[in-house]
Amino acid sequence: MDGTDWSALWANLAAAAVAALTVMLVTFLIALRRKLHRIVDVAWGVAFTAVAATTWVLSAGYGDGGRRLLVAVATAVWGSRLAVHIARRGHGRGEDPRYTSLLDKARGSRTLYALRTVYLLQAALVWLVSLPVQVASYAREPVGLLAVIGVLCWAAGVTFEAVGDHQLARFTADPANRGHIMDRGLWAWTRHPNYFGDCLVWWGLYLMACTSWPTALLSLVSPVVMTLLLTVGSGKRLLEKHMADRPGYAAYAARTSGFLPRPPRTTGDGAGGVRWPRPW
């Protein structure tokens, strides 16, 4: 039986939209002042944390306390770590080529184009992807086996993402690696360990929200959208387009899985063929 207080949840959906929009609009004003739109990537994690905090406060007295705290902390840990990592990585750097390329497509005001296609769009995506966090917070059922599995999935994702980011940061910090492609550690098994980790995080949060068929169906859009964004949307597709002309990248892409972690591709079947295809 569904124990979700749906009227309170609908009100939370509106409040979460305001929280996400506020973070992105403030970021937009800062970006205009600094003439640097790449800081929106920092705001991505901050906005999810803001939605989680808003939801945790508003859901008091409606949902199970343990589940509320679980999803709020899980989201805040993931979002805060991501924001700090991106802020450190981008400190002192100029504009991200992805945003330069995007804004070059503007017809008319680049400022309004940036507001519409970057900040408002990301605010909407934060609201949409955060549905499991909001839904889980209004479920009255205590934490059960499915939520525990979700926690394990979330933990694996955060670990995979954090380790991959750390390995890449150490690699790029070494001057001897300048001009080389990172193909060590987790990066030998997938070209995007950070994106794969993100994917696991949101499937884990989805499992934490599955307390009934209505909540499962409502929340399903979140991990599906996040997975599509990471695999065929603005994630790996744009990054690989930017990396394509770098020396050694074609060979790296040929032997390394594009998303799902797998042992590096091998040749040697006698005709230079490969042992298995890599659709991801």
pLDDT tens-digit map of 41-61: 999 999 999 999 999 999 999
User: What confidence score (pLDDT) does residue 2 get?
Assistant: 63
- How far is the CA of 199 from the CAs of 30, 53, 97, 193, in angstroms? 29, 21, 24, 10
CA–CA distance, 16 with 58 (Å, rounded to integer): 10
The reported pTM is 0.89
Alpha-carbon distance of 277 to 211, in angstroms, equals 37
> pLDDT per residue over 2-41, tens digit each?
677 889 999 999 999 999 999 999 999 999 999 999 999 9
Whether 160 has a pLDDT exceeding 70, the answer reads yes
pLDDT at 243: 76
For residue 275, what pLDDT is reported? 42
pLDDT in tens, 125-144: 999 999 999 999 999 999 99
Which residues, listed in sequence order, are joined to residue 274 by a DSSP beta bridge? 267
Confidence at residue 246, expressed as pLDDT on a 0 to 100 scale: 83
Whether 87 shows a pLDDT value over 70: the answer reads yes
| Residue ranges of domains in the chain | 6-255
How many whole angstroms separate alpha carbon 94 and alpha carbon 129? 29
> What is d(CA 182, CA 180) in angstroms, rounded to the nearest whole number?
7
Least confident span in 28-37, 122-131, 158-167, 270-279: 270-279
Q: Is the pLDDT of residue 91 over 50?
A: yes
Which run of H or of E encompasses 89? helix 65-90
The percentage of the chain sitting over the pLDDT mark of 70, rounded to a whole number, equals: 94
Per-residue pLDDT band for 228 (boundaries 50, 70, 90) equals: very high
pLDDT of residue 15: 98
